Amino acid sequence: YAHFLFSFLFLFFCICMWGVCPFRRRGGAAETRKRLQDAQTRLLLLKDGSDRLGCQLRLHRPDTLQECGFNASQPLVMIIHGWSVDGFLENWIWKMVAALKSRQAQPVNVGLVDWISLAYHHYAVAVRNTRIVGQEVATLLLWLEESMQFSPSKVHLVGYSLGAHVSGFAGSSMGSKHKIGRITGLDPAGPMFEGTSPSDRLSPDDAIFVDAIHTFTREHMGLSVGIKQPIAHYDFYPNGGSFQPGCHFLELYKHIAEHGLNAITQTIKCAHERSVHLFIDSLQHKDLQSTGYQCSDMDRFSQGLCLSCKKGHCNTLGYNIRREHSGKNRRLFLITRAQAPFRVYHYQFKIQFINQIEKPVEPTFTMSLLGTKEEMKIPITLGEGITSNKTYSFLITLDKDIGELIVIKFKWEKSAVWPNIWNTVQTIIPWGVVPHYSGLVLKTIRVKAGETQQRMTFCPESTDDLQLHPTQEKVFVKCEVNESETHAKN
């Protein structure tokens, strides 16, 4: 049902994209006329997050540079917004400006490409305009280079949605001798760009370094708001990229109840705009940077198989990314929280069971992780029955930093299938004897921490009784295990 409603909302969104938009705010006729008159791109320089007007830079007018306080010895970060359904600049822009300006240790010029009058159109028209706006941005940057020797390599374009492709067109209009330093695409728009040739969208050729954050690639009726394909040197797919935690229907419903129907566009945008908030978060929480790990798909990532940082296989999400690349594209995955600070701690757990009875066991376990800073409890259910001697690998994420892991307490919760096993046990053990034999042994728990890249092995604290028993807690402590075993694949 939730899915149905979501599709319905999405349909509204699509109607907005292609035609009459039921959510368009009706501006006065005078306002509309004015907007049409200055249907153009405005390149603004902003002092801080409260500077809503900005100071307009004008081509071939060096005096405007001075007037606007452009400092040529600092880099230039230019924010480029996306398609507009209501003709107004979105609030995240000011949040991002404030976050960029708050970094006093690394001061930057912050610019805004205001192309709202060209973006406030039917989607297809706005798409056509991205190329024009990109060329205008390139013209400005080339002029800055020519008149002030301000190298384009000191420029970082941050484009959201359609703005990501505007950045791409800006980059490709510069010419190969004047490459822009960096382009960040925040959930680059998908419709009319997915599957097109690199010259018709943002691509790794458009800047010296290109990164992208994909947050809303879930497909509805053959369309996804954010582009699915990798289009950068580093493409991050937080939570798999298709949808984001905290944007689910129930939460959306609450949002609509609180904010009325206008909240619909906001709620549809939730996952799309998450890319922006992840980027802002990376500016605001310097000590809580999120790491993404290279992986072929989310399935493998969920098994915890991709937490390696060897050979550039991981990188930092957002502003502070390591700007190095081998030329080839990397797809990076990570889990995030539903709100800022978004960072979580990733662990791979490998649990090796020995099942000495023939019947499959489907137990539910609880693990308590005791770290140097904190203890946390996590329930785990193994999707399939434990039939024979098998090692299970899975990803566990923690919201909090527990410090270095020291002890794992492993508890077999009572489960519905237990009576079956009980029968088996009773046939094995003579009646009346306290059953010490459950047939299930946990030999070792191997842990790899993504954030610290530390590998650890845990063994049972007591070797008296290695059998796992329902409702009983077994304590595992750090132990040494032969290297050859530890380095078994993944």
Ligand X SMILES: *[C@@H]1O[C@H](CO)[C@@H](O)[C@H](O)[C@H]1NC(C)=O
Among 27, 42, 58, 74, binds ligand X (CB under 6 A): 74
- Identify which range of 70-78, 295-303, 340-348, 371-379 contacts ligand X by CB under 6 A: 70-78
Distance CA 269, CA 262 (A): 12
Instruction: Report the alpha-carbon angle 448-449-455, nearest 5.
Output: 40
The count of other CB atoms within 10 Å of the CB of residue 437 is 16
Strand-pairing partners, residue 14, are none
Is 206 labeled as ligand-binding? Answer: yes
149 binds ligand X per the rule CB under 6 A: no
Is 114 labeled as ligand-binding? Answer: no
Crossing angle of helices 2-18 and 123-148, in 10° steps, is 70
- Identify which range of 38-46, 68-76, 235-243, 296-304 contacts ligand X by CB under 6 A: 68-76
Distance CA 157, CA 124 (A): 23
- Residue 187 bears catalytic tag: yes
391 binds ligand X per the rule CB under 6 A: no
- Nearer Cβ to ligand X (32/71): 71
Q: Which is it for strands 364-371 and 375-381: parallel, antiparallel or unpaired?
A: antiparallel
- Residue 161 bears catalytic tag: yes
308 binds ligand X per the rule CB under 6 A: no
Distance CA 181, CA 236 (A): 19
Among 372, 389, 427, 472, binds ligand X (CB under 6 A): 389
Binding to ligand X by CB under 6 A, coded x per residue (else -) over 98-117, reads ---------x----------
Distance CA 79, CA 44 (A): 10
At residue 2, the 3 state secondary structure works out as: helix
Binding to ligand X by CB under 6 A, coded x per residue (else -) over 347-366, reads -------x------------
388 binds ligand X per the rule CB under 6 A: yes
- Residue 178 bears catalytic tag: no
The contacts of residue 377 (CB under 8 Å, 6+ apart) are 366, 367, 368, 369
- Nearer Cβ to ligand X (107/198): 107
482 binds ligand X per the rule CB under 6 A: yes
Compute how many residues bind ligand X; rule: CB under 6 A: 9
Provide, rounded to whole angstroms, the least separation between the CB of residue 147 and ligand X. 17
Catalytic one of 114, 187, 211, 281: 187
- Identify which range of 33-41, 67-75, 82-90, 130-138 contacts ligand X by CB under 6 A: 67-75
Three-state SS for 15-61 is HHHHCCCCCCCCCCHHHHHHHHHCCCCEEEEECCCCCCCCEECCCCC
Residue pair 229/197 in contact by the 8 Å Cβ criterion: no
481 binds ligand X per the rule CB under 6 A: yes
Task: Tell me the two tokens of residue 406.
Answer: 């020291």
55 binds ligand X per the rule CB under 6 A: no
List of residues contacting ligand X (CB under 6 A)? 71, 73-74, 107, 354, 388-389, 481-482
Give the catalytic positions in this structure: 161, 187, 272
| Annotated binding residues for Ca(2+) | 201, 206
